Chain A
Amino acid sequence: MVRAAGLIKKFGAFTAVDGISFEVRRGETFGMLGPNGAGKTSTLRMMSGLSPVTAGELEIDGIDATANPRSVRDVIGVVSQHDGLDPDISVRDNLTVYGFYFGLDRDTARRRADEVLDFFALRARGDDSVDDLSGGMRRRLSIARAFVSRPRLVILDEPTTGLDPASRNRVWEQLAVLKNSGVTVVMSTHYMEEAAILCDRLVIMDEGRVLGAGTPDQLIQDLAGAEAAQVRPEEGRREDVQRQLKDGGHDVSDIGAVFVVHGSDGQRADLSTISGARVTYRAANLEDVFLTLTGRGLRDE
């Protein structure tokens, strides 16, 4: 469905996307996980035909997206990081008018708007103003809007950033509906739970590069092992503990209050000899993958 090869985006002298390659298969939900400034939005905007490709290849649904961004926009739906909803018209009209942009005639656009409102359980709010919706509701509406044109691919940029946990759950439900409808989804996020729950496959990005790719389980297994250890130094023993870990040749990430230690070859690290610290083990997750790849947390801001 999507094939990127050596994709580059430069803003003046600054390289935001530095030669990334990935492939998205038809029908899957594909994630881009990375911290602020990783180049997720830049990549998704190129895919959406909103930002010219500086160099590299980008093919979407058989279309050369570098040369023909408009044909790409015919077959995709886009949900941007800010909702971009239209406050001058009602919720329903936001959908109808979006149909107009795709060239639907009035009757078709209205019918389609009602279908989409039903599909995403937004019917009751159809006549409201967009400004009266909660943040979660707005986000769901902007996802619904991307669906008006019956896209083959939906591109979502951080669909749940800034939402409270309850709204996030509703958006996840909605994305699950999307996924079950068979549409291909490409989404960015900096929440590892989100990537783990929703994505069939994902790439981990940082500073414009792809650091790892695979299914969430596979990435965790390969790069973080089954379990990660959290080592919490006792009062005043921080440096001592750090030295012990280093001397032991462990794979250590310093995330402030604790050290996170990942095992190798899928085994948990043996920390029985460490003194002056409390060691707890927990199941490894994508955050650990990011830690082992970069030595930093996902949400270092």
Chain B
Amino acid sequence: MNESLAVRRDARRFDFRLRGVVGVWLRHYTAFKGGWMIEMTGILIEPVFILAAVAFGIGELVGDVETRGDGVKYAVFVAPGIVVGNAMWHALFECSWGAFRRLQTNRIYDSILAAPVSMRELALGEISWGATRALMTTAAVLAFASVTGLVESPWAVGILGIGILTGFMFGGFGLIAAAIAPSTHMLTLVFTMVGTPLFFFSGTFFPISTLPRWIEPIAWALPLTHPVRIARALATGDLYLSLLWSLLYLVVAGLLFYPIATHLLRRRLLI
């Protein structure tokens, strides 16, 4: 009896194993490796089409854009927006649609949780894979943008970090959606009602100041606004102190979504 008391006390310790997270991440990496050629179309080719069309097509029709005093060419303005917006899509898709398939359709979570992986670790594995995908696509599109002269400052390397943080935040958000969605139908709403408006109205394609006065504060509250703002500053090398607020927003939202997702998954699966 003494023995089982000892075990009981043991359980109260904060129990987190990195290897659980790594295991889940490696599962995704294994699946990714199996189909990487096709994956590249989503990671590189599709976003490059969008960027090229908007920057070099529409960009030719549009004059310079006012940003903090100086005007920049529209192509230069829009590139960081598309890079980061695309990072959002990848993390969001992976952690909502992809996660829902694993959770509900294929019941893979049940198998993972039957191994000694905790929900906290599983959720972090999912979100970090979302962030990894966001990083991959950020790197790919950013490389294209710099080769085509859309990046003006070496600070732009920092956009890779913003890509990861964006992936972490939207990965967490997507996982929350997956955890509460009753069906893939409902999950579609995440793309149509969240992804799409964020992609277009977060200062990605035009400055927020262009929006009607009353919408402006709403646009500032949107999560994609902040990484876009930081990425744009990094791409143009025009850094200023208030960007730290955006960085704080990004980090705090990510740190908030993750435990909420864990909690909701527990409620759904560990019954």
Question: Chain A residues in contact with chain B, CB under 8 A?
Answer: 11, 48-52, 59, 62-64, 67-68, 70-71, 73-74, 78, 80, 82, 84-90, 93, 96-98, 100-103, 145, 149
User: What 11 additional pairs, Cβ within 8 angstroms, besides A67-B7, A70-B118, A103-B20?
Assistant: A49-B114, A50-B269, A50-B270, A67-B11, A68-B7, A73-B116, A80-B107, A97-B27, A100-B22, A100-B27, A101-B27
B259 to chain A, nearest CB (A): 18
Question: Chain B residues in contact with chain A, CB under 8 A?
Answer: 3-4, 7-8, 10-11, 15, 17, 19-20, 22-24, 26-27, 30-31, 34, 106-108, 110-118, 269-271
Interface of B is mostly: helix
Could you tell me if A101 and B270 are in contact, using CB atoms closer than 8 angstroms? no
How many residue pairs bridge A and B at CB < 8 Å? 100
Beta-carbon nearest neighbor of A80 in chain B: B110
Could you tell me if A71 and B7 are in contact, using CB atoms closer than 8 angstroms? yes
What 10 A-B pairs come out closest when comparing CB atoms? A101-B115, A84-B111, A78-B114, A100-B23, A103-B19, A88-B31, A73-B116, A101-B23, A64-B4, A68-B11
A-B contact pairs, 8 of them (CB 8 A): A63-B7, A68-B8, A68-B10, A82-B107, A82-B110, A93-B34, A100-B23, A102-B116
Could you tell me if B17 and A103 are in contact, using CB atoms closer than 8 angstroms? yes
A112 to chain B, nearest CB (A): 13
Interface centre among B19, B111, B269, by most chain A C-beta atoms within 10 angstroms, is: B111
Beta-carbon nearest neighbor of A101 in chain B: B115
> Which of B3, B11, B26, B269 lies in contact with A97, CB distance below 8 A?
B26
A82 CB contacts on chain B under 8 angstroms: 107, 110
A52 CB contacts on chain B under 8 angstroms: 270-271
Beta-carbon nearest neighbor of B18 in chain A: A103
Known: A50-B110, A89-B30. A59 touches B4 (CB 8 A): yes
Known: A68-B10, A78-B114. A62 touches B3 (CB 8 A): yes
A239 to chain B, nearest CB (A): 47
Whole-angstrom distance between the alpha carbons of A136 and B31 in the complex?
24
> Which of A48, A68, A86, A101 lies in contact with B117, CB distance below 8 A?
A101
> Which of B3, B17, B24, B110 lies in contact with A84, CB distance below 8 A?
B110
A224 to chain B, nearest CB (A): 36
Could you tell me if A84 and B107 are in contact, using CB atoms closer than 8 angstroms? yes
A184 to chain B, nearest CB (A): 17
